[in-house]
Amino acid sequence: MRIIDLHCYPSTQPWLDSQRPYVDALAKYWNRGWTAKPELEVVQEFAEAGVQALLVALDLETTVATPPCSNEYVHGMWKRHPQRIIQAWAAVEPAKGEAAIQQAKKAVNELGMIGFHFHPIMQHFAVNDRRYYPLFEVINELKVAVMIDVGTTGMGAGMPGGMGARIRHAHPSAIDDLAADFPDLKIIMAHPGWPWVDETTAVALHKGNVFWELSGWAPKYFPGNLKVDIRARLQDKIMFGSDYPSLAYERIFKEWEELGYVDAVMEKIFHQNAERVLGL
């Protein structure tokens, strides 16, 4: 069965450097150390897991003053390993204003990236903030997708004040507004959306342009209602993501199998929904 992983970070030194203020606290949160890997080792791990990966760039420059794991960087990894890395999500920071708009145009028109990933908590904004709608208007005109984190995050968890981040920025109601205001924009919610799982489910079901990938959580810990909905009313909405390197592929696939879904549902989750929605 083909497996498309929509949410993979490079796990190399530039990626680690882009989130440097959070590294130690994140290691405590995940109960394991974080170390950079050589590029070829990352690609080999994708190959051993049997996944076709979409890499995610990361830009937190305006909030923590670290150098971005740039669009050009993840584009380079994609082009060096096209059989295993099949596309990449660009990252732009809305707070950069016109610079972000120009970066967005370059990411699509010159680099050919599939769309944009936003991390509202760490980028200190909500996607329904009208100040940043000019950026989303340009993305909409470019006819690419966005992937937006929903629910809490391990980034900043346990640190004083969460390093100034507010988890409310990632509430699914913000995505509900964005989807209503941009009905032609394909939106993928990233992560299970805890503690607002039922509200995230409602947005996925109500908005025809909204989909959902469940990366960053061990499947056995998915809430009970979500486990039921995946096999039924959400089966055409759910896509696979790992949040690599957060969780080991071996564990993720073992726990997905233990959920006991029929092959027809797993085919949709692992590749068919992403193929249909994103043209992969």
Sign of CA dihedral 82, 86, 152, 129: positive
pLDDT in tens, 158-211: 777 877 889 999 999 999 999 999 999 999 999 999 999 999 999 999 999 999
The type of residue at 202 is A
pLDDT digits 0-9 by tens, 101-159 = 999 999 999 999 999 999 999 999 999 999 999 999 999 999 999 999 999 977 767 77
DSSP SS3 for 178? helix
For residue 173 the two structure tokens come to 């109601």
Three-class DSSP category at 191: coil
Evaluate if residue 255 carries a pLDDT over 70. Answer: yes
Q: How far apart are CA 243 and CA 5, in angstroms?
A: 9
Dihedral, CA atoms, 111, 117, 119, 124, nearest 10 degrees? Answer: 60
Q: Residues 74-91: pLDDT tens digits?
A: 999 999 999 999 999 999
Q: How confident is the model at residue 27 (pLDDT cuts 50, 70, 90)?
A: low
Indicate the average pLDDT of the chain. 95
Counting the structural domains of the chain, the total is 1
Contact 181, 209 (CB under 8 A): no
In which domain, by residue range, is 199 found?
A: 4-278
**Is residue 7 within 8 Å of 54, Cβ to Cβ?**
yes
* 244: DSSP letter: B
Q: Measured between alpha carbons, how far is 146 from 276 in angstroms, rounded to an integer? A: 15
Q: Which two tokens stand for residue 245?
A: 């390197």
Residue 16 belongs to a domain with what CATH number?
Answer: 3.20.20.140
